[in-house]
Structure 1
Amino acid sequence: MTIAKWTVILLVAVYLAALVVLYVRQREMLFPIPTAARTSPDAANYPEAEEHVLTASDGETIIVWHVPAKPGRPVILYFPGNGDFLAGRIDRFKAMTADGTGLVALSYRGYAGSSGAPSEQGLLRDAAAAYAFTTARYEAERIVAWGFSLGTGVAVALASEHRVAKLILEAPYTSTVDVAASSFWFVPVRLLMRDPFHSDRRIARVTVPLLVMHGTIDLAISIVFGERLFALAHEPKQFVRFAGGGHDNLDGFGAIATARRFIEQ
């Protein structure tokens, strides 16, 4: 009986210690900041882009890359995934802007030259600064907000509060809490998570045309979460499933062409 009692006590202690580690380190897991240093567009072989340093409402300095739109063309306001850095997405950016579409791509706080440390509220402040930069140069009716992965939560939050023309969500989720809970089912994630990114609670305030793109074998964010979020959204809306598509490879399945058709509609 004594051995059994101490075994239970040990297991409980290990479990509680694991909870403490997960709570303390959760932002390191949600925001795995790449080791890439700040890189200028020219150094990244992307001279079409201009680098700008913005100041968020809390004083953090945030980097955006801007490719000016051709006359009459739309501009994509792009919110990347949690492990992305701008210089690592050159091929995607070039494909997005090949037809004269403009681009404003955000480097979140703490990422590749932007100051501060990431959090949900921090990223929303960064998005607001990027939106202000964009609307100072383009009418809201030309702005297409595009979020990828973690960035879909940022894009939904922005589109729920600010005027944009359209919204594109690539590999989205209902909330980061839902995604984390599906992986860490043995942990009370809903009580511990500090950055829940509740797109499910915000999407009802989005009234512009919506495109959702998701790979059917996405192992990072299951397509189930994209389907659930889509069900909560208002019309007009489209859901494109890429058969065999994963999380970070949808360009190879036609994501850019799909988005371009949606933007042109």
Structure 2
Amino acid sequence: MGSATSSMAAKLAFFPPDPPSYGIYVEASSGRMRMSNIVHQREDVDVLKLSTKRGNEIVAMYVKNTSASLTLLYSHGNAADLGQMYHIFTELSHHLGVNLMGYDYSGYGQSSGKASEQDTYADIEAAYRCLEETYGLKEEDIILYGQSVGSGPTLELATRLPMLRAVVLHSPILSGLRVMYPVKRTFWFDIYKNIDKIPQVNCPILVIHGTEDEVVDVSHGKQLWELCKEKYEPLWLTGGNHCNLELFPEYLRHLRKFITAVEKLPPLQIESEESREQSENSLIATDQKSRASTEQREKSRPSTGQREKSRLSTDNREKSRTSIDKREKSRRSMDRSGKPRNSTDQSERARNSFDRLGDMVRSVGLCNVDCLKQTALEA
């Protein structure tokens, strides 16, 4: 039963467009890689092929914005590939003032291999590594954005990036099995166990969901938001379904507000265990040297009276040191127990959510990529 259910969940999770909406070629004049079937090729878009640790080669696109300080790493939804997302990604980069990297999962578009949960984890790792190694970005410069099925690889990576700037989840799932059945606990054969991972993410998380989502019920988004450590005001779009949230007027407005608010946040300052141990060892060594010096001075005092005075003085110093040690321990305790990042001002709490692009999930035939054609044309 478990194996059959897991297989069902996997089949519901992955619907790569067939045939792919684009091809790949090398432009003779520039030597740059390009995507075919794109109406307006742009010079600010890099098309790349990235190798994953599971042996696949995935296609990614990087949209450059010269005024950007942050970069969105976007994991798209089901039944979509980069050819269909190309113009939406470039418009998002322009209107939000961010760099944006999108990528196709293994088996999607012109990426090799076949989609699976573990392959999507390797895919997002390859895209993240490219941002670091090719574009010189740091962890704190990046916002992870997961759309529907894309919430799975997004949260998996977010749990391993303690300095990440922020996460956006659009129409996210609690887990693959929970999309089909209202189970109350996590089973070993389930996929994308977001419900268990989201409490491990330390950075701010924004959740957006449509109240009339017919593929992933809005209760998924609401429960995930409740489990966030660093909550931001969610966006529950009344009447929104699984693939039309980008059509709502609040969409771009909330995106801009969220990005602006996140830009003002200082990067997370997290003290590592190693640096903390080094600091403590240094304090212990200093204390031992001081005590040895005091003992040496006591031995060299000839007069009993002088020794008595010295002992009194030493006792006072010991009391003072004890008091300082107590204050130091108290301070370290407060540093460790305190949150690495203070919540932003109350005035900035209303950093409403950040809408994602309509999820093109065709999952179980309930939504087709045609639902975004009008949006792309308007863009």
Give the aligned partner of residue 49 of structure 2. 53
Does 2:178 correspond to 1:181? no
Give the aligned partner of residue 262 of structure 1. 258
Unaligned runs of 5+ residues in structure 1 are 1-15
Give the aligned partner of residue 27 of structure 1. 10
Task: Identify if the C-alpha distance between structure 1 residues 206 and 150 changes in structure 2 by more than 3 Å, giving closer, same or farther.
Answer: same
Does 2:199 correspond to 1:204? yes
Q: What's the CA shift for 1:141?
A: 2.0
| Cα deviations by residue, 1:107-138 (Å, 9 ceiling, x for unpaired) | 00000111111111110011111111112222
For structure 1, which segment, 62-71 or 118-127, has the greater mean C-alpha deviation from structure 2 after superposition? Answer: 62-71
d(CA) in 2 for partners of 1:243 and 1:176? 24
d(CA) in 1 for partners of 2:148 and 2:61? 19
Task: Please tell me whether the aligned partners of residues 41 and 65 of structure 1 are also in contact (alpha carbons under 8 angstroms).
Answer: no
| Cα deviations by residue, 1:48-75 (Å, 9 ceiling, x for unpaired) | 3211000001221011111123244311
What is the DSSP-based 3-state SS (H/G/I as helix, E as strand, rest coil) of the residue aligned with 1:238?
A: coil
Point out the structure with max Rg over C-alpha. Answer: 2
| Cα deviations by residue, 1:205-242 (Å, 9 ceiling, x for unpaired) | 11111111111101111100100111111124221111
1:208-219 correspondence runs (5 A): 208-219=203-214
d(CA) in 1 for partners of 2:218 and 2:129? 32
Give the aligned partner of residue 112 of structure 1. 109
Does 2:128 correspond to 1:145? no
Task: Please tell me whether the aligned partners of residues 54 and 64 of structure 1 are also in contact (alpha carbons under 8 angstroms).
Answer: yes
Q: Identity percentage over the alignment?
A: 26
Aligned length: 242
Task: Identify if the C-alpha distance between structure 1 residues 103 and 243 changes in structure 2 by more than 3 Å, giving closer, same or farther.
Answer: same
What is the DSSP-based 3-state SS (H/G/I as helix, E as strand, rest coil) of the residue aligned with 2:233?
A: strand
Task: Identify if the C-alpha distance between structure 1 residues 243 and 23 changes in structure 2 by more than 3 Å, giving closer, same or farther.
Answer: closer
Task: Specify the code of the residue in structure 1 equivalent to 2:157.
Answer: L
d(CA) in 2 for partners of 1:117 and 1:107? 11
d(CA) in 2 for partners of 1:20 and 1:152? 23
d(CA) in 1 for partners of 2:45 and 2:156? 26
Task: Identify if the C-alpha distance between structure 1 residues 42 and 97 changes in structure 2 by more than 3 Å, giving closer, same or farther.
Answer: farther
Task: Specify the code of the residue in structure 2 equivalent to 1:152.
Answer: S
Give the aligned partner of residue 89 of structure 1. 85
Unaligned runs of 5+ residues in structure 2 are 24-33, 262-379
Q: What's the CA shift for 1:257?
A: 2.8
Task: Identify if the C-alpha distance between structure 1 residues 26 and 230 changes in structure 2 by more than 3 Å, giving closer, same or farther.
Answer: closer
Q: What's the CA shift for 1:46?
A: 4.1
d(CA) in 1 for partners of 2:171 and 2:64? 26
Give the aligned partner of residue 217 of structure 2. 222
d(CA) in 2 for partners of 1:43 and 1:130? 23
**RMSD over aligned Cα, in angstroms?**
2.3
d(CA) in 2 for partners of 1:190 and 1:235? 23
Task: Please tell me whether the aligned partners of residues 41 and 50 of structure 1 are also in contact (alpha carbons under 8 angstroms).
Answer: no
Give the aligned partner of residue 11 of structure 1. none
Q: What's the CA shift for 1:248?
A: 1.0
What is the DSSP-based 3-state SS (H/G/I as helix, E as strand, rest coil) of the residue aligned with 1:168?
A: strand
Q: Answer 1 or 2: higher relative contact order, Cα 8 Å, separation at least 6.
A: 2
